[in-house]
Amino acid sequence: MLEINNLSVNYGGIQALQDLNLHIDAGEIVTLIGANGAGKTTTLRAISRLVSSRSGQIIYKGKNITDLRPDQVVRVGVAHSPEGRRVLARQTVLDNLELGAFLRSDRWAVKADIEKQFQIFPRLGDRRNQLAGTLSGGEQQMLAIARAVMSRPQLLLLDEPSLGLAPQIVREILKTIVALNQSGVTILLVEQNATLALQNADRGYVMESGTITIEGKASDLLSNERVRQAYLG
């Protein structure tokens, strides 16, 4: 479904990604793990075209999307739930969800999908007319994921969905991510909790200094001594 070939990204004079290569097959949950500053978030931002690449290619379903605009990336079926949630604080929960579907013209189906998100995340349904900025951290993360799903993506990029949340909320969100995957959404997951990520993923990549250093089945990475010492505690 997705192939990244020799991708390099610079921030000014700093090379954030260097000849990055990875692939994701349809139906998988693939996770990126690594230390802060390893390039995980930059990888997601490069795929969704929020940052430009210096060289390399991003191929989605056989199409080169390296030079598309961010809205065009959403249109072809890729959605991004960013680090820090980035909900529109002064808009209601309902407004945020409607904006997640801004490229869609099937308004009745959009309404049905909003109600579906309220079934998945009942707390959001209870707060549909509440300003997003007044929600708890966990509720904002639920909203960020639900908003991304409103574009009906085939590939969902999730950046640190458990960051700063209580363990019970983290379990609830991970359960929803797995359910999304089982419904047919392919997922690329960046997650600070490497153990949790690998326990719920099919495959994983370890990033260091903007490049991939280890890759394999999630179960193999969980038992890899180098990975255990560096990232699993």
Residue 158 CA to residue 173 CA, distance in Å, equals 11
164-213 pLDDT, tens digit each: 778 888 888 888 899 999 999 999 999 888 898 999 999 999 999 999 99
Residue 30 in 3-state DSSP? strand
Confidence at residue 84, expressed as pLDDT on a 0 to 100 scale: 67
Instruction: Please name the fold of domain 2-85+155-232.
Output: Rossmann fold (3.40.50)
Instruction: Answer for the pair 89, 133: CB distance below 8 angstroms, yes or no.
Output: yes
Residue 41 CA to residue 6 CA, distance in Å, equals 17
Q: Which runs of consecutive H residues, i.e. helices, occur in the chain?
A: 40-47, 70-76, 93-100, 107-120, 122-126, 137-149, 167-182, 194-200, 218-223, 225-227
End-to-end CA distance of the chain: 32
Confidence at residue 74, expressed as pLDDT on a 0 to 100 scale: 94
Q: What is the model's pTM? A: 0.91
CA 38 from centroid of its chain's CA atoms: 16
Q: Which of 187, 166, 170, 169 is nearest to 178 (CA)?
A: 187
The segments of the chain whose pLDDT lies below 50 read none
Strand partners, 154: none
